[in-house]
Amino acid sequence: MAADFNINHPIRAVLFDLDGTLLDTAPDLADALNHVLQLEQRQTLSFEEIRPAVSNGAAGLMQLGFGSTLMEERSEQLRKELISFYQNNLCNKTTLFDGMNVLLDTLKQREIDWGIVTNKPSYLTDPLVAKLGLNEQTDCIISGDTTPHSKPHPEPILHACKLLNFTPNECIYIGDAQRDIEAGSRAGMRTIVAKYGYIADFDAIENWGADGSIDHPESLLNWLDENS
């Protein structure tokens, strides 16, 4: 259920999920999955098949690629190989989503802070953000291992609010997975679904309880004009 608060409360910070919301990381993660499929002499998957699973991390990619066909020990070996390959090829093809630069620049012009709250572990998040020069722009980075709990628990988002020195109802959270919307709502802030992200055809986003959705990063500016 969406958070309950004054709809006209001014927004002072925008918090983004990373994969599938702020950054288009799917091409590099698809390469990592296909790498381990090739190691097992399996048929590689198309980018279109892999893209919706990217938000579920290495475990989700392994499930997509292998299902339950591997022995547990071999599955764990390949999961580690997938992560290692990805770590060594972290930013070959990854970019900001189209229009995100305009959104981030406009937020700064409006004196609205922005931060990152992701379940991606810090040993992957930090170098990736640095490679794209975003570490010098963002006001906070919360990774999956920054706090004891990760999304859908609200703790990472509440920690971001604390670092920014804003209350949850002064922030919004944008993500492309149900756990993002659940975490933001449980933290007491408005939530937005990034429909341009890694959303599968079967995902019923209308049932996630978000306060809105956007088809393109720049659409958030219109939403802010209408709702804050």
> What are the catalytic residues?
17, 19
How would you class 51 by CB atoms within 10 Å of its CB: exposed for 0-12, middle for 13-18, buried for 19 or more? buried
DSSP 7-65: TTPPP-EEEE-TBTTTEE-HHHHHHHHHHHHHHTTPPP--HHHHGGGGGGHHHHHHHHH
- Which has the closest alpha carbon to 119: 203, 159, 44, 179? 179
Pairing label, strands 212-214, 190-194: parallel
Strand partners, 115: 15, 140
Residues 228, 8: Cα–Cα separation, whole Å: 5
CB count in 10 Å sphere of residue 80: 12
